[in-house]
Amino acid sequence: MKILLTGGAGFIGSAVLVALLKRGEEVVVVDAFEETLYPRWRKEKNLEWARTFGDFEFHEVDIRDADSMSALVTPELNAIIHLAAVAGVRPSIEKAPLYFDINVTATSLLLELGRKAGLERFVLASSSSVYGNNTKVPFAETDDVSNPISPYAASKYALEVLSKTHVNLHGGHVSCLRFFTVYGPRQRPEMAMHKFMDLIAKGEAVPMFGDGRTARDYTYIDDIVSGVIATLDRPDGFKVYNLGGDRVVHLDELIATIGRIVGREPVIQKLPMQPGDVPLTNADLTISRAELGYDPQTTLEAGLEAMWQWYQTFEVR
Ligand SMILES: NC(=O)c1ccc[n+]([C@@H]2O[C@H](COP(=O)([O-])OP(=O)(O)OC[C@H]3O[C@@H](n4cnc5c(N)ncnc54)[C@H](O)[C@@H]3O)[C@@H](O)[C@H]2O)c1
């Protein structure tokens, strides 16, 4: 297959890129090294790592740039995997227009360019954040998600609505993947696990927002990648799938586990809950198991151990 992969220099994107290269696919990567969350050099390192698995075309292009994108979305493509976005709940509260510009308007452009090129297969990154303060657990794809509590969540919900509209009007296959907190080697440095590992390794205080009883369904990067690839292989009209880790972990337990793996007792600084943060995420995997054969394999301990191994070679400055 020839696949256009947006956001391929990012954390999840570079891991998906490696999986595609291992399968022998021809990949065209687009990334603008957008720096709202973290610096360009880390993304260049991700691409460097991916290059050790094979060759791919790379274009430093902003997905909002219609002219450049229309030159890349050609009839030779078999599919688009669209992961480029500004992620992160908290920064979205200050930067809602940017989040909508990149996550929504540019996605609409991509769907439209794909349609014009006769392309039928799209896999898009959504997020577990669409579930907001959902109190029904576990969170199922059929739950009402029309009550987002951050601009980031709203942008991903809008992406799903756009995708459904696209399929209603034009047919084809658009799958939106609700990733549940992804972790592992190359995780974005502003994400909690990466920050906690860094602070504990340096013997610095770990800010703990809330009483430690907030909980997340953490998903190891290899499991997410297997879900993305399974989705690519199973086009089925408009679809939404949860991709989670199949286990919920409380924040205090997470910090203690990282401490054990790093070999240092964490020093905890208790802080109030942050606006936009949700108390719990918990994926119902019934649909993704049945339709994608998705089956997350990595325990939290094994995933954190792999991340720690990576951290020690990569982050030592
Ligand atoms: N990491 C998670 O836990 C998580 C959870 C839910 C959803 N997601 C979604 O998964 C996707 C990948 O997330 P990630 O954690 O790898 O983030 P990331 O920031 O590492 O990757 C996103 C990539 O998109 C690129 N990008 C941003 N704006 C762009 C633009 N205008 N033009 C071209 N490229 C642009 C960035 O440079 C970056 O390399 C995102 O859509 C994110 O919203 C991630």
Over residues 251-273, mean pLDDT: 96
47 in Cβ contact with 8 (< 8 Å): yes
Mean pLDDT, rounded, of the chain: 97
More confident residue, 260 or 316: 260
Counting Cα atoms < 13 Å in the Cβ hemisphere of 20 gives 30
Q: Where are the beta strands (DSSP E) in 32-73?
A: 57-60
- The yes-or-no verdict on residue 155 having pLDDT over 60 is yes
Q: Does the beta carbon of 221 lie inside 6 Å of ligand 1?
A: no
Cα(147) to centroid of ligand 1, in Å?
23
Q: Provide the percentage of residues in the chain whose pLDDT is more than 90.
A: 96
Q: Which of 6, 159, 182 to mutate to test the pocket of ligand 1 (most atoms within 8 A of CB)?
A: 182
State the amino acid at position 31 in one-letter form: D
Tell me what pLDDT residue 276 has: 77
Cα(83) to centroid of ligand 1, in Å?
6
Q: Does the beta carbon of 33 lie inside 6 Å of ligand 1?
A: yes
The domain defined by 2-183+219-245+284-297 folds into Rossmann fold (3.40.50)
Token pair, residue 156, equals 């991903």
Query: DSSP letter at 22?
Result: H
Ligand 1 atom 11: residue of nearest CA: 83
Bridge partners of 58?
Answer: 29
Grade residue 315 by pLDDT with cuts at 50, 70 and 90: confident
Q: Does the beta carbon of 182 lie inside 6 Å of ligand 1?
A: yes
Calpha distance 126→160 (Å, rounded): 7
Tell me what pLDDT residue 98 has: 98
pLDDT for 184-197, tens place per residue? 999 999 999 999 99
Atom of ligand 1 nearest to the CA of 14: 16
Counting Cα atoms < 13 Å in the Cβ hemisphere of 257 gives 16
Q: Which of 4, 5, 6, 11 to mutate to test the pocket of ligand 1 (most atoms within 8 A of CB)?
A: 11
pLDDT for 161-186, tens place per residue? 999 999 999 999 999 999 999 999 99
Tell me what pLDDT residue 59 has: 98
Grade residue 316 by pLDDT with cuts at 50, 70 and 90: low
Over residues 51-75, mean pLDDT: 98
Cα(7) to centroid of ligand 1, in Å?
6
Q: Which of 5, 6, 12, 145 to mutate to test the pocket of ligand 1 (most atoms within 8 A of CB)?
A: 12
Tell me what pLDDT residue 275 has: 82
Atom of ligand 1 nearest to the CA of 156: 43
Q: Which DSSP string do the residues of 263-291 spell out, in sequence order? A: TSPPEEEEEPPPTT--SB--B--HHHHHH
Q: Does the beta carbon of 8 lie inside 6 Å of ligand 1?
A: no
Positions marked active-site: 152
Q: Minimum mean pLDDT among 58-62, 63-67, 157-161, 313-317: which range?
A: 313-317
Counting Cα atoms < 13 Å in the Cβ hemisphere of 273 gives 13
Q: Does the beta carbon of 62 lie inside 6 Å of ligand 1?
A: yes
**Cis (ω within 30 of 0) for the bond into 185?**
no
Atom of ligand 1 nearest to the CA of 43: 39
- The yes-or-no verdict on residue 58 having pLDDT over 60 is yes
Atom of ligand 1 nearest to the CA of 31: 34
Token pair, residue 44, equals 């260049």
